[in-house]
Amino acid sequence: MKTNAARILNQQKVPYTLLTYDVDPADLAAERAAEKLGLPTAQVFKTLVVRGDRTGVCLAVIPAHARLDLKALAKMSGDRKIDTVPLKEVQGLTGYIRGGVTALGCKKPYPVYLDVSATQFKQIAVSAGKRGHMLLLSPEKYLIAVEGTIGAIAIAD
């Protein structure tokens, strides 16, 4: 089964591997996805929806085991302040539900910020836009596909 995110990568001729895993709706943590896929948590990236006071909605893509550094992202995006968007707004803004948010194929082309730690891997796993589906691709190709910006925006836990 192809997701919209996979179709977008196909259109852009970006090579990827579609990975699937069983989802427990009670535990949608990105760490669990990494565990089920047999990948290190540092290689599996979650997509967070945030809102800046100047730029509005944007997406932060950080490792599964990390927290978002709101101050670093605000500085990078040109905002004075940035906060995560309440969960009840996520689907309306992106078209995706929690556990399936991806920067590929959102309702609008939001700015995307990828944590620099992605560059330590030949391939990273990001959501394919559906729970239980991940895309494995090079961080460089992902950045091009989402027209993203790379920077230090994660704090490892």
85 contacts 123 by C-beta, under 8 angstroms? no
Structurally, at CATH architecture level, domain 4-156 sits in: Alpha-Beta Complex (3.90)
Structural domain boundaries in the chain: 4-156
3-state secondary structure of 65: coil
pLDDT in tens, 66-112: 999 999 999 999 999 999 999 999 999 999 999 999 999 999 999 99
pLDDT digits (tens, 9 = 90+) for 9-56: 999 999 999 999 999 888 989 999 999 999 999 999 999 999 999 999
> Rounded to two decimals, what is the model's pTM?
0.96
